[in-house]
């Protein structure tokens, strides 16, 4: 197997980076300012407000994206860089991105 080289996606103060982690059961998302190395906003499917949902993982990822988008709008963040990591843009990752875009954020 070949060693693949990945490009590191970096955000800047005008366009912070969205970092995604997906486990078998949960999805975690955070908006990071790469220059200061601090997390500005985060959201995950483990939060209390998602326990009431009886949805599948893809629909839950969409709701997590909408929540992250709402929190980012409160901080007046409009444009972002989407870092999906090693995951394919498919299924839960795509649903998460659509939830963020539904709120009006651009990437």
Q: What is the pLDDT along the chain (107 residues), one digit of tens a residue?
A: 455 655 678 888 889 999 999 999 999 999 999 888 899 999 999 999 888 877 899 999 999 999 999 999 999 999 999 999 899 999 999 999 999 999 999 98
pLDDT for position 99: 96
- What domains sit in the chain, N to C, each tagged with a CATH number? 17-103 (3.30.420.100)
DSSP codes joined into one string, 61-94 = HHHHHHHHHHHHHHTT--B-EEE-TTS-SSTHHH
């Amino acid at each position: 197997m070949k060693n693949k080289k990945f490009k590191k996606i970096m955000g800047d103060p005008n366009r912070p980076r969205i970092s995604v982690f997906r486990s078998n059961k949960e999805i975690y998302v955070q908006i990071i300012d790469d220059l200061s190395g601090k997390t500005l906003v985060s959201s995950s499917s483990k939060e209390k407000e998602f326990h009431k949902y009886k949805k599948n993982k893809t629909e839950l990822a969409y709701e997590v994206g909408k929540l992250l988008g709402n929190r980012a709008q409160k901080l007046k963040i409009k444009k972002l860089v989407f870092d999906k990591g090693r995951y394919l843009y498919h299924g839960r990752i795509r649903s998460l991105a659509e939830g963020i875009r539904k709120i009006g954020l651009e990437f």
